[in-house]
Structure formats: structure tokens, C-alpha cells
Amino acid sequence: MKRLLLPLLGILAGSLTASAIEWRAVQHFDLPAGQTMSNELWLVADSLKWEGLADRTLFLQAQQVDLAGQFQRDVWALADTLTFAGQARQALRVAAKRSTQINGQVAGTLLAAGETVQLQKGARVAEDAVLLGQDIMIEGAVSNRLWALGNKVTLAGHIGGTARIVAEDITLMPGAVIEGDLRYSAEKELIAPEGLLIKGKLERVPRPDFGLSLSPLTLAQTVAMQFALFLAALLAGLPFVALFPSFTTRAVAQLRTQPGKCLLAGGIALALLPMLAVMAALTWIGLPLGALLLGLWATLLYLAKFIVAIALAVRLLTLRGQPTRPLGALPVLVVGLFLLYVGAALPVIGFAVQLVAALYGLGALVLTLFYGERGALVRGTEPPPLGGLSS
């Protein structure tokens, strides 16, 4: 596995160098007016203020993002609070946990999400706009189509094409203009107020079915589903341990002796590998490497549960310290996976159990891949050996 991973990362690194991609992790990033960022930038910061010029694509993540500059390529941003008052020559795709405020010019498409989303009076979108949030206010202009999905949507701006709105509460303000149709889904029938101009049709349509609604499972169905997942994991875990016993024991040793380091590495890998996959798909290498990296990420994420399960079982079955003889893979996996799936099925904390297990297991796998045979000794401790498929 390591022989496959390292060449892939080497190829990706070469493509990133050729594309002049710059990585930064800082507390505060400030690009004043008059300065230019010529490289593609991947940035993580606590706060970000951008007033200069960006020649290449930007991928930004910060608690507070203030974008007031000029952006020649696509902009991707994730924040707690976000304000855009600049000029984007291509697409703008932003999401914020709390508020997203758009008051600038977007020559491409706009995708904006947040608890509250405001397309303010000064905002101009030259193509389509997709807005997602709890409370959406549209006062600016969208030259083409508009999609708005939220709990409360207020429309007071100018829409050059068809508007599609799905919300519990929809408010149409006097002075709003819709050049095409207004198709909406809401509990109440809308009545166009005086001063509202709709050149097309005002049509109420059923809510879209995203295919995600499932009937609640009975207790018996829940138990049966968890048991089926447990058996599937057991059938996948046994061949993995049988084929890679040394790698598995080194990964378990990493987790048992350096849990903090595994947690940190798991968090980085959980976020970084999908980003690398997306980035690979955007470079000259194309989609195949991106798909391969994404597949590798998904594979490691699934294998992570086996490392955590073995570590839990070894801890439970050897309360007096390291085992003096090899432990059978079958009883270890049965006990460990049973504990994990019981924890994952618990209400309220089930998701937290799965997330923590994924982070620890993924970190242990990644560290073991890069340490290689050196991972057999961690802080001078031999990894607990695993035997065959029986004890």
C-alpha cells in the first residue's frame, strides 16, 4: 500500500509545483489593495482580509472572511462569518456557519450558503445564483436563474430569469422584478403584492423529492441492520488482518502508544485527502488520479475501524499489560467490532463514537504507512502480535 501511495503523492506534488500552488496556515492573512497574489492559494487562517488582486483560484478557510478585492478565477471559501464586496470574474462558491453577506459583483455563478444569507442591494450576479440557508434575503440582482432553499426567504430584488423558491415562509416585497416565472413550494398560497412585477407565471408546485425521506426503523430492523453491518465488517476485516498482519500490529501499536499523534494525523488526513483529490482533478493530471485519491481516502476510512477495534479488544483481553502470546484475529475482531457497533448504535453519542473511531484509526494507518518498518517500535515498545484466524 505504501508503494502505491508514495508514487501517487509524488506525481501529485509534481503537478502542484507545475501549477504554482501555494499553501499557507497563519493566524491572520491580509492582502492590501495594490498587491497581487499570482499563485493558486490554499489558505487556512483565523481571520482573512482580502483587498488586493488574485490571479488564480483561491481555496480559503477562516473564522472571519472579508473579501473586497478582485478575483480573476474561481473563489471557494468556508468561514464562520463571510462578507464579499469585491469583483469575481468567474464563479464564487462560499459557505458560512453563521452569516454570508454578498454585496459585490460576480461575473460567473454564485453558490452561497449559511445560517443567514443576504444578497444585498449592491450585489450583481451575471449568471445563476443558488442560495441555501435558514434566513435568505434577496435585494440584489441576478441576471439569470435563481434557486433559493431555506426556512424563510424574502425576495425584493431583480431576477432576470426564472426564480425557484422552496421555503416554509416566503415574502414577496413591492418593487421586486422577476423577468421569468416564479415557481415556489410553501405551506401557504402566495399573493403577489401591489408593486411586484412578475412577467412570467406565478406557480405553486409540490416540494421537490430529494429521495432522502425514509420511514422510521423499528427496533428489530435497527438491530438487524447493525448486525448485518457488523458481519460485513467482520468478513472484510479478517482477510485484511490475514494479508497484512505485520502492518496491522504496527498500526495498533501506533494507536496504543501515541493516541494524541494519531488523532492529529487522522484529522489532517480526513480533511486533506479529499482536498488533494479535488485539486488533482483540477490539474493537468485530470480526473483519474482524483478518483484514485478519493478511493484511497474512502478505503483507509473504512479500514480505520479495524485498527480501533483491535486496539479496544487487546486492551480488554489483556488488562494486565502486553500479551505474552499471539492473540487470535477472530476473537479480537469479534470483540472489538462488537464494541464499536454497539457504541455507534447508541442514541445521541453514536455519531461521536463513529467520528472518534475514524479519526484515531485513520491517523494510525497514515502514520504506519509513512513510518514503514520503523513503526514496529514506538517509544521502545513492541506492537502486540496477532496470530491466525483463531486463538
pLDDT per residue as tens digits for the range 71-116: 999 999 988 999 999 999 999 999 898 899 999 999 999 999 999 9
In this structure, the answer to whether residues 132 and 231 fall within a common structural domain is no
Is 200 inside any structural domain?
A: no
Q: Flag whether pLDDT at 160 surpasses 80.
A: yes
Is 265 inside any structural domain?
A: yes
Through-space distance between the first and last CA atoms of the chain, rounded to whole angstroms: 27
- Full residue range of the structural domain in which residue 103 is found: 18-144
In this structure, the answer to whether residues 369 and 250 fall within a common structural domain is yes
Could you say which of 108, 126, 144 is where a domain stops?
144
**In angstroms, how far is CA 51 from the centroid of its own chain?**
27
Q: Flag whether pLDDT at 347 surpasses 80.
A: no
Cβ contacts of 213 within 8 Å, gap of 6 or more? none
Is 152 inside any structural domain?
A: no
Structure confidence at residue 53 (pLDDT): 96
What's the CA gap between 29 and 16, in Å, rounded?
A: 22
pLDDT digits (tens, 9 = 90+) for 223-266: 778 788 888 888 888 888 888 888 888 888 888 888 888 888 88
Could you say which of 144, 172, 204 is where a domain stops?
144
Is 64 inside any structural domain?
A: yes
The three-state secondary structure class of 18 is helix
**In angstroms, how far is CA 103 from the centroid of its own chain?**
26
Number of domains in the chain: 2
Cβ contacts of 240 within 8 Å, gap of 6 or more? 248, 303, 306
The one-character DSSP state at 124 is E
Structure confidence at residue 323 (pLDDT): 54
Cβ contacts of 38 within 8 Å, gap of 6 or more? 20, 55, 56
Is 230 inside any structural domain?
A: yes
In this structure, the answer to whether residues 132 and 34 fall within a common structural domain is yes
Structure confidence at residue 280 (pLDDT): 64
Cβ contacts of 335 within 8 Å, gap of 6 or more? 309, 312, 313, 316, 317
In this structure, the answer to whether residues 234 and 128 fall within a common structural domain is no
pLDDT digits (tens, 9 = 90+) for 42-61: 888 889 999 999 999 998 98
Query: Does the pTM exceed 0.85?
Result: no
Region 341-348: mean pLDDT is: 79
Is 79 inside any structural domain?
A: yes
In this structure, the answer to whether residues 366 and 280 fall within a common structural domain is yes
What's the CA gap between 306 and 170, in Å, rounded?
A: 49
Q: Flag whether pLDDT at 3 surpasses 60.
A: no
In this structure, the answer to whether residues 114 and 223 fall within a common structural domain is no
**Contact (Cβ atoms closer than 8 angstroms) between residue 315 and residue 381:** no
Is 213 inside any structural domain?
A: no
Largest pairwise CA distance in the chain? 84
